[in-house]
Amino acid sequence: MKIGIIGAGNIGKNAAKLFVEAGHEIAIANSRGPETLDETVEKIGGDAIAMEIEDVAKFGEIVLVAIPFGKYKTLPVDTLANKIVIDAGNYYPNRDGKFEEIEGGEMTESELVAKHLENSTIVKAFNTIWSEHLKSQGNKDLPVEQRRVIFVCGDDEDAKREVAELIEEIGFGAYDTGGLREGGKTQAPGSAIYNRDLTVREVKGFLRAGY
Ligand SMILES: NC(=O)c1ccc[n+]([C@@H]2O[C@H](COP(=O)([O-])OP(=O)(O)OC[C@H]3O[C@@H](n4cnc5c(N)ncnc54)[C@H](OP(=O)(O)O)[C@@H]3O)[C@@H](O)[C@H]2O)c1
């Protein structure tokens, strides 16, 4: 599959490497332009290529967005239309500025992204795992239940299934926390599961116990 990655930092480049190793074609962009990503694409390996943001959005059948959340309004609405967009972003007011809708509990970070990308299907994933764990903890040899969990949420079941398959291909196990509203809250920074090093099996017991 062709996967576009917007954001070539900690999450973007580690995810890109894992996707390449799983046999996918990758194009990646940052805010400064493809000419600044020579070293990054070399480290990602495979046939990974750097492109302008607009071209990455065009290239990807699925597009992973891994940029500071506060920049979400720069994402290209028309080019990302009719695509699954994986949102790895987190809201950190000190970095992103204050968003009253999130502060007031009216909307989650990914709901704001979904409102902006009005014709895309948003799945929130990869936002609760530290990039170093993303790099090192995938293990395709383990049964899914025993793998490190990566949480997903979204309002489209088929899109979530597709993202869950990608997660399994790179050696993790997906766990669905619901729609963008409740799942977005479950997966937000500071929540009980945020940055918790749990397997799929453990998380089932953990959430049953009421955390
Ligand atoms: N780090 C983690 O462990 C982790 C874990 C889970 C989720 N997250 C979340 O994932 C997101 C990315 O985190 P990160 O740690 O990977 O960030 P990072 O290392 O700071 O990298 C951010 C990347 O986004 C690019 N970027 C910035 N603004 C952009 C824009 N408007 N359009 C396109 N690209 C843009 C930057 O490009 P330039 O360098 O050219 O500006 C850079 O490549 C954040 O929302 C973060 O909270 C992080």
Enter the pTM of the model: 0.98
Centre of ligand 1 to C-alpha 7, Å, is 5
Residue pLDDT, tens place only, 15-47: 999 999 999 999 999 999 999 999 999 999 999
pLDDT of residue 169: 98
CB of 69 within 6 A of ligand 1: the answer is: yes
Atom 17 (ligand 1): residue with closest C-alpha?
A: 9
**Ligand 1 atom nearest residue 67's Cα:** 24
> How buried is 96 (Cβ within 10 angstroms: 0-12 exposed, 13-18 middle, 19+ buried)?
middle
Residue pLDDT, tens place only, 75-94: 999 999 999 999 999 999 99
CB of 195 within 6 A of ligand 1: the answer is: no
Dist CA 60 CA 37 (whole Å)? 18
Atom 35 (ligand 1): residue with closest C-alpha?
A: 31
Tokens, residue 207: 């959430």
148 has a pLDDT exceeding 80:
yes
* 74: phi then psi, degrees, rounded to nearest 5: -85, -5
Residue pLDDT, tens place only, 114-138: 999 999 999 999 999 999 999 999 9
Centre of ligand 1 to C-alpha 86, Å, is 13
208 has a pLDDT exceeding 80:
no
- For residue 51, how far is the Cα from the chain centroid? 19
The average pLDDT across 145-174 equals 98
**Ligand 1 atom nearest residue 8's Cα:** 43
CB of 177 within 6 A of ligand 1: the answer is: no
Pocket test for ligand 1, best of 17, 18, 30 (most atoms within 8 A of CB): 30
